[in-house]
Amino acid sequence: MGECYFCLSKASHSCRLCGRPVCDTHGGGGVCVACREAICAVCGRELAVSYCSGCGRLGCVDCLVQYDPVRRFCRDCLARGASEFKPEALEPLKKVVRRVFGS
């Protein structure tokens, strides 16, 4: 397995997001300390890409929805404020990203 990317002690597994070898201290829960800082606070599974304009939490492409050109909201905020948003105008951020970058 090799050495932990962070402390160079024996690595026990690799980070499931970045793939770097990590020890239990630096890779607890399957995600390394670097990725944990940048992980989606909504689902806790994917790397975050931006902040929710409502609650300020980090969110990933699956959890944040582009509401208008400058604002993105997480699923929880959308659920809470469903009446003040227009759900039919929403589009998952993933699709927007695909359209813009053509991937």
Q: Out of 58, 65, 74, 93, which residue is the one contacting Zn ion (CB under 5 A)?
A: 74
The residues in 83-102 that bind Zn ion, with binding defined as CB under 5 A, are none
Is residue 15 at the binding interface for Zn ion, with CB under 5 A as the rule?
Answer: yes
Q: Residue 13 to residues 8, 40, 45, 83, 93: CA-CA distances in angstroms?
A: 13, 21, 17, 45, 32
Helix (H) or strand (E) holding 13: strand 13-14
Nearest approach in angstroms of CB 76 to Zn ion is 5
Is residue 78 at the binding interface for Zn ion, with CB under 5 A as the rule?
Answer: no
Phi, psi of 5 (to 5 degrees): -60, -25
Phi, psi of 87 (to 5 degrees): -60, -30
> Contact positions toward Zn ion, by CB under 5 A?
4, 6-7, 15, 17-18, 23, 25-26, 32, 35, 40, 42-43, 46, 52, 54-55, 60, 62-63, 74, 77
